[in-house]
Amino acid sequence: MRLTMARGTRAFRLPEEPHSRFIEDEQGEVWVVQQVHPVDGEYEVLCRHATRIEQRLYAREKEEQKSQAAG
């Protein structure tokens, strides 16, 4: 579920607590987790847009997860 927030921020409702400090949305945009609040058995995750450097870090983290899963 998407909630509209101030410009450059976004809130997600997730069934479980995020395992990374990054979230990729349905359009492929990368967001950085700022706060996590439990709400009615779900988690409301407040995020901001990732910078280019953070996007590269996310891509590296994603590649490491793939290589660990394959190996």
Mean pLDDT computed over 47-65: 95
Would the pLDDT of 62 be above 90?
yes
**Structure tokens of 52?**
């280019």
State which residues form the domain around 49.
Answer: 2-70
At 26 the pLDDT is: 92
- Give me the number of domains the chain comprises: 1
pLDDT in tens, 14-51: 999 999 999 999 999 999 999 999 999 999 999 999 99
Backbone angles phi, psi at 63, to 5 degrees: -65, -40
pTM: 0.81
- The mean-pLDDT minimum among 5-9, 23-27, 36-40, 60-64 falls in 5-9
User: Angle at CA 34, nearest 5°, toward 30 and 40?
Assistant: 100
Kindly state the tokens that stand for 2. Answer: 């998407």
pLDDT of residue 5: 55
